[in-house]
């Protein structure tokens, strides 16, 4: 096979505006003309529609036939991906090019899950051996904790593990712990503290014995306000139990970070630090050392299965032709919905209680990655970018917000995720659960007309209220079984979906400057809230008034 040329970073930056691409223009015209052709008509016109718009790979059946698409629309979307140069961009990422242009960094979370023999280079150096060296250290440490051989300062084995981190240093591990609960050790209590609100720390530690508790301070930068505040509180909590003996910290704190200097400054021995690299973005880091709490919970073997699942999807994304490529198709349909059908949000609805935190995890992955308004070249985009991502596990959501999805005035495309084989086989729960998925997507797609309702003999005054317009687009991901490996595949599928969308929208999916201003302002406001003397405030009128009011309520001048 001829090897494709990998575009340089400057070529990526100078690609033409997305809305000038012929396929984009054709899609815009098409959405005006036929974007609203109803699903009833689309299914009636094509008896093979369901199979035509279903793709299977890696134990995931992705039915996208209940979207407002047809063959021509899909052809144009694949043309769009080609004209936008998505595959070249993808290859540049896998080749370690510095595609995170605003931070001048490579983007290589795919290296975190590469098998031992793989070669992935950054600046001519193969990073895979480094990844496996850290995984090996993590494994030995995890086994010690799991085996009761990591002792606290008083010589008692650690039984409680608390990850302190926020954003990418919390959401992935917290989500994965819930998702893999079934495989987690029953001998350990694993918890996550993230919020700078002390209620989080207090509630997560109130029933724990400090002598049996290990804190993993997880922070890429080791400077994040929330994490460092919680870490200092944790240290005070531990030292109190040992009458202030500072030596106790060594047995009760380990760190996960890229910043050895700050870890040392905090007082954690760098021998107990697990590192990662600047080419791992925070929200793409759950399979780096940031996953240490996950590995302790489920063990190194299950953690490797999780990584293998990620790697399966990496290979699929890298090698499968666009028309068989799960993340590519998912991304393109998302672009159709968001940019051409004006859908502002996407609901992610996992029908599995173990995926309770999946939507929260995806919120950071998608919205921090693609919630951008300038292109790689720094020009304001002339198209919409990331929609709002939200959701809850089914069936709970059905009894809360689905009403709006069925009959509201806004179109909310939904991702339904469900597993054929239940983790817990209890009575007929699972068939009932799955029936609800299929019923929801059927109702959302085809609705119920006024005529159908009247034909049922419903009072004509009530009948309009019962009309379901249908044409609510949904994706169904019917997966074999929730397992560590399948979880890895699903997360990687969303990661690569985000990549494809970011590539088409031309944004840098790997920086997050938008969160900086608020952080900076908070740092300035903290002393204004805490100072004994009345501060001289120089904010806007509203912020000044709120600061004064708060100080007054707290009895400060
Ligand atoms: O909120 C911004 C952010 O930088 C995220 O991107 C990141 O995941 C989170 O803060 C935590 O950062 P750190 O791991 O450096 O503490």
The residues, ordered by sequence, that sit 6+ positions from 539 with a Cβ below 8 Å of its Cβ are: 525, 547
Interior angle at CA 199, CA 196 and CA 205, nearest 5: 105
Instruction: Please enumerate, as own/partner, the contacts of 28-33 that have beta carbons within 8 Å and a separation of 24 or more.
Output: 28/340, 30/72, 30/73, 30/76, 30/340, 31/336, 31/340, 31/341
CA atoms within 13 A on the CB side of 70: 19
376: its two tokens: 């790689």
Q: What mean pLDDT is predicted for residues 288-314? A: 98
Provide DSSP, 287-333: TTGGGHHHHHHH-HHHHHHHHHHHHHHHHHHHHS-GGG-HHHHHHHH
The answer to whether residue 1 scores a pLDDT higher than 80 is no
Percent of the residues in the chain that have a pLDDT greater than 90, as a whole number: 98
Whole-angstrom Cα distance, residue 137 to residue 274? 8
Give the model's pLDDT for residue 33. Answer: 73
Ligand 1 proximity of 221 Cβ (cutoff 6 Å): yes
How do strand 125-126 and strand 121-122 relate by DSSP bridges? Answer: antiparallel
Give the model's pLDDT for residue 34. Answer: 57
Helices (H), 219-299: 225-241, 249-252, 260-266, 292-298
Instruction: Kindly calculate the radius of gyration of the chain based on its CA atoms and give it in whole angstroms.
Output: 25
167: its two tokens: 């954003």
Q: What mean pLDDT is predicted for residues 197-212? A: 98
Distance from Cα 229 to the centre of ligand 1, integer Å: 14
pLDDT digits (tens, 9 = 90+) for 68-104: 999 999 999 999 999 999 999 999 999 999 999 999 9
Give the model's pLDDT for residue 275. Answer: 96
Per the CB < 8 A criterion, the answer to whether 188 and 161 are in contact is: yes
Q: Residue 370's beta-bridge partner residues?
A: none
How do strand 189-193 and strand 273-275 relate by DSSP bridges? Answer: unpaired
CA atoms within 13 A on the CB side of 282: 21
Phi, psi values for residue 317, rounded to 5°: -60, -40
The answer to whether residue 322 scores a pLDDT higher than 70 is yes
Percent of the residues in the chain that have a pLDDT greater than 70, as a whole number: 99
pLDDT digits (tens, 9 = 90+) for 248-298: 999 999 999 999 999 999 999 999 999 999 999 999 999 999 999 999 999
Q: Report the chain's mean pLDDT, rounded to a whole number.
A: 96
Distance from Cα 249 to the centre of ligand 1, integer Å: 24
Give the model's pLDDT for residue 2. Answer: 46
Q: What mean pLDDT is predicted for residues 407-413? A: 97
**Mutational pocket test of ligand 1: of 224, 285, 368, the residue with most ligand atoms within 8 Å of the beta carbon:** 224
Give the model's pLDDT for residue 39. Answer: 97
Q: What mean pLDDT is predicted for residues 351-374? A: 98
Q: Which residue bears the tokens 């590995």? A: 295
Task: Find the helix packing angle between 71-84 and 22-34, rounded to 10°.
Answer: 160
Distance from Cα 348 to the centre of ligand 1, integer Å: 23
Q: Is 399 a catalytic residue?
A: yes
Residues 124-155: b if buried by 16+ CB within 10 A, e if exposed: eeebbeebbebbebbbebbeebbeeebebbee
pLDDT digits (tens, 9 = 90+) for 443-485: 999 999 999 999 999 999 999 999 999 999 999 999 999 999 9
Ligand 1 proximity of 406 Cβ (cutoff 6 Å): no
**Residue 218 Cα: closest atom of ligand 1:** 14
Q: Which residue bears the tokens 């000038």? A: 20
Ligand 1 proximity of 163 Cβ (cutoff 6 Å): no
pLDDT digits (tens, 9 = 90+) for 13-38: 999 999 999 999 999 999 987 547 89
Q: Sign (positive/negative) of CA torsion 503, 504, 507, 511?
A: negative
pLDDT digits (tens, 9 = 90+) for 222-251: 999 999 999 999 999 999 999 999 999 999
Ligand 1 proximity of 224 Cβ (cutoff 6 Å): yes
Distance from Cα 224 to the centre of ligand 1, integer Å: 7
* Position 63 confidence tier, pLDDT thresholds 50, 70, 90: very high
Ligand 1 proximity of 288 Cβ (cutoff 6 Å): no
């Amino acid at each position: 096979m001829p090897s494709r040329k990998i575009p340089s970073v400057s070529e990526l930056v100078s690609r033409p505006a997305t809305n000038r691409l012929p396929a984009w223009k054709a899609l815009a015209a098409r959405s005006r003309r036929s974007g609203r052709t109803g699903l009833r008509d689309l299914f009636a016109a094509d008896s093979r529609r369901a199979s035509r718009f279903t793709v299977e790979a890696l134990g995931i059946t992705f039915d996208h036939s209940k979207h407002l698409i047809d063959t021509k629309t899909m052809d144009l979307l694949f043309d769009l991906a080609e004209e936008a140069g998505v595959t070249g961009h993808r290859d540049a990422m896998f080749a370690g090019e510095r595609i995170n242009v605003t931070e001048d960094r490579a983007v290589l979370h795919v290296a975190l899950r590469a098998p031992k023999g793989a070669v992935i280079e950054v600046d001519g150096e193969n990073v895979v051996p480094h990844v496996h060296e850290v995984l090996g250290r993590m494994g030995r440490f995890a086994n010690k904790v799991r085996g009761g051989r990591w002792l606290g300062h008083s010589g008692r084995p650690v039984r409680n593990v608390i990850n302190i981190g926020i954003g990418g240093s919390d959401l992935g591990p917290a989500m994965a712990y819930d998702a893999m609960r079934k495989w987690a050790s029953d001998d350990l209590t694993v918890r996550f503290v993230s919020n700078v609100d002390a209620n989080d720390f207090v509630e997560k530690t109130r029933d724990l014995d400090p002598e049996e508790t290990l804190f993993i301070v997880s922070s890429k930068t080791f400077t994040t306000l929330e994490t460092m505040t919680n870490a200092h509180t944790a240290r005070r909590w531990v030292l109190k139990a040992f009458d202030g003996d500072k030596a106790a910290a060594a047995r009760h704190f380990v760190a996960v970070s890229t910043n050895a200097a700050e870890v040392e400054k905090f007082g954690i021995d760098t021998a107990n630090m697990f590192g990662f690299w600047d080419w791992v973005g925070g929200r793409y880091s759950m399979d780096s050392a940031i996953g240490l709490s996950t590995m302790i919970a489920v063990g190194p073997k299950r953690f490797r299965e999780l990584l293998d699942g990620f790697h399966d999807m990496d290979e699929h994304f890298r090698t499968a032709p666009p028309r068989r490529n799960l993340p590519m198709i998912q991304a393109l349909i998302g672009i159709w919905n968001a940019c051409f059908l004006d859908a502002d949000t996407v609901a992610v609805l996992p029908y599995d209680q173990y995926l309770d935190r999946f939507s929260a995890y995806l919120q950071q992955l998608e919205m921090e990655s693609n919630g951008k308004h300038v292109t790689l070249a720094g020009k304001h985009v002339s198209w919409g970018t990331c929609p709002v991502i939200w959701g809850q596990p089914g069936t709970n959501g059905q009894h809360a917000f689905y009403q709006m999805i069925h009959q509201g005035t806004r179109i909310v495309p939904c991702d339904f995720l469900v597993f054929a084989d239940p983790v817990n086989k209890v009575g007929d729960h699972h068939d009932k659960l799955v029936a609800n998925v299929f019923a929801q997507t059927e109702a959302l797609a085809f609705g119920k007309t006024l005529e159908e309702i009247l034909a049922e003999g419903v009072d004509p005054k009530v009948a309009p209220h019962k009309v379901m317009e249908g044409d609510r687009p949904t994706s169904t991901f019917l997966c074999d079984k929730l397992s560590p490996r399948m979880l890895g595949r699903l997360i990687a599928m969303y990661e690569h979906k985000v990549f494809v969308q970011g590539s088409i929208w031309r944004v840098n999916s790997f920086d997050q400057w938008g969160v900086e201003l608020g952080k900076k302002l908070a740092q300035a406001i903290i002393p204004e809230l805490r100072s004994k003397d009345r501060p001289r405030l120089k904010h806007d009128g509203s912020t000044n008034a709120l600061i004064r009011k708060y100080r007054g309520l707290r009895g400060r001048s």
